[in-house]
Amino acid sequence: MDREKMDKMEIAAKTGDPLTSPAEGLVFGVWDDGRMAQDFRKRLDAALQGEVSRILDNGEFKGTPNDVLFLPTMGKLSARYLVLAGLGSREKTSPELIRKVSGTVARAARSRNLSTLASTLVSNDGAEPEHVSEAIVEGTLLALYRFDHYKSTDKDKKEKNRKAGAVSKDFASLHLFSSREAEKKVRKGIEWARAILRGTYLARDLGNHPANVATPSMIAQTASVECQKRGTRFVSYDREKLEEMGLGALVGVAKGSMEPARLIQMEYRPSKAANAKPVLLVGKTLTFDSGGISLKPAEKMETMKGDMSGGAAVLGTMMAIADLGIPLWVVGLMPATENMPSGTANKPGDVLRAFNGKTIEVINTDAEGRLILADALSWGVKTFDPALVIDLATLTGAVTVALGAHAIGVLGNDQKRMSEVLEIGESVGEKGWQLPLFEEYFEQIKSPIADIQNVGGRGAGTITAAAFLSHFVDEKPWVHLDIAGTAWVESDEPYKPKGNVGIGIRLLTHYLGKLSEDKDLRKPEKRESRKK
C-alpha cells in the first residue's frame, strides 16, 4: 500500500454488534488462558456450534502473542473469516502488543487477498480505547506499507492477473468496534493514527528511495510541498547562502559532493500556540554517506541511503502536528547533504569552523553527521532561542553495539525532558535507553590544535558523539536521540516491512502533544503596565 491508497482507506469507529459486520475478516482477541473480552466466546460458540471452544480447549490455538488463526465461518456469520488473534498474558497486554498483533493480522489477511477487516480489540477489558484504537490502525496500515516504486515486474504481474480475471484487491476498509461510551475516544485514536501514518509513510518512502532520487534538492522540494499543504512556513537555504551564514561545518561536509547541500527550515506556529519560545527539532539528513575520504567498507554501503532518517522523522513529525492542530510552536531543521570522497572533500586533519565559532579538527570524515548537526543546532539555537532542543540522528554504529535494534540511545543535559521522552517512547512502542554523559567523556574529544575533534576513539562512541553535540546547544535544555540501530530492519517484522522504519515520528508527535500542556512552556500572562 502506498501513501495515496493509505490516505483513501476507510477507517471508522463502529458501535453496533460486531457479529453482524460484513467485513471479510472479523478479529477477536484471545488471551493465553482461553478467555475473550465480554461474552464474545459464548456468542461465537452459539453462532458456530461450539467450534471456538473446541479449538481453544483442544489447544489448537493457544492465544500466544502474535499467533493468528483464520477460521472460515461457512456463512454462519456475515464475515467470511473469524480471525482469532493471540494476546498472550492478560496482565501484559499493551498498545504495542496490539500494534504488533494488528500488523500480523493485516499481513495474513493480505496473503488471503482480503480487503476489509473489522476489529473488536478495542473491547478488551481495562484497555484505554484511545490508545488501543490508535495502535490497531497503526499496526494494520504500517504492516500494509509497501515500497515497490521500482518493481516493474510487479506491475507487469498485476496487469497479467487483471487480464486473466484474477483480481488482486487493495485494502478498502478497517472498522473498529467499541461501546457507544468509548466511541469518541476511538475516533480520537483514529485521528492521531492517521496523522502519524501520513508522516511515517513519507519518511519510509524517503528512506527507501535510492540516493540518486532522494537528493537534498528532492527532499527540500518534498518538504516544501507538504508545508504548503498545511500552511507551515518553509525556507530552504542553498550552499552559497550557507557559506554566507557561516555554517562552515555543514559546508565542509557538503563540498565533497556534486549534489547541492540544503538547510531546510520549517516553522509551525499556530495562533493558539501555548509556548512563549519554540521547541526546536533537528534531524540529520545525510542522503548518502560513503564515509568520505575515510571510506566505508563496501558491504552494506547501499543502506547508507537511509542516513537521512533523522531528517525524515522531523519532516513527518511537522506534518503530523500540523494535521492534528497541536497548539505548540515548533521549528524543524533538516541539514541535508551527501558525504562523498573527491578532490574537494574534507580530509582527516582538516579544521572546520562551525557557526558558533568553535573550531573542529576532523579526525575521521565518516563522523560527518555530528558536523552537519553542529551547525544546524547552533544556528537554530541562536536564531530561535528555543525552550527545548531535540535532535534525531542515525549517528553512531556504536549505539547498535550497545542497544541492538530494539532501543533508541537517549542522552542530553536535562533529566526531566529525557525522562519524559523515555516514558512516552515506552508507551508508544518506540523505546529508548538513557546513556550517561559524564565529564570524563568530554576529555576524549579534546583536540591538540582545535577546540574539539569530531571523534573520541573506539570507546563509548555514542556518548562521545553526544558530548560533541553538547558544545552546540548553548546549554539550552536538550535531548539527543541516536536512532542508528532502530531506523532500519533487515527482515519483515509484524508492522515493519524490510527497509526504513520511519522511526521517531510516533514518539515525537505524542511528546509534542504532551508538551503543549506543559506549564513550564506556557506563554506568560499579560499584565497591565503600572502608571508611574
Buried b / exposed e over 418-434, threshold 16 CB at 10 Å, is bebbbebbebbbbbbeb
CA 256 centroid distance within chain: 30
**What are the residues facing 286 on neighbouring strands?**
337
CA pair distance 343, 389, nearest whole angstrom: 35
**Selected catalytic residue, list 296, 358, 431, 514:** 296
DSSP E strands in 93-188: the ranges are: 116-119, 173-177
Give the amino acid at 498: K
Neighbouring residues of 386: CB distance < 8 A, sequence distance ≥ 6: 277, 278, 279, 280, 331, 380, 476
8 is catalytic: no
Q: CA geometry: angle at 356 spanning 354 and 361, to 5°?
A: 35
Neighbouring residues of 233: CB distance < 8 A, sequence distance ≥ 6: 227, 265, 266, 267, 268, 269
Torsion of CA 495, 500, 501, 503, to 10 degrees: 180
CB atoms within 10 A of CB 168: 11
- Per DSSP, 158 falls in state H
Place of cell 555543514: 250
Neighbouring residues of 107: CB distance < 8 A, sequence distance ≥ 6: 143, 144, 492, 494
In SS3 terms, 307-338 reads as CCHHHHHHHHHHHHHHHHCCCCCEEEEEEEEE
CA pair distance 324, 512, nearest whole angstrom: 11
Buried b / exposed e over 83-95, threshold 16 CB at 10 Å, is bbbbbbebeebbb
CA end-to-end span of the chain, whole Å? 67
Neighbouring residues of 532: CB distance < 8 A, sequence distance ≥ 6: none
Counts of helices then strands in the chain (DSSP H, E): 17, 20
**Selected catalytic residue, list 99, 370, 496, 506:** 370
**Kind and range of the H or E element at 453?**
strand 452-453
151 is catalytic: no
Indicate which residues carry an active-site annotation.
296, 370
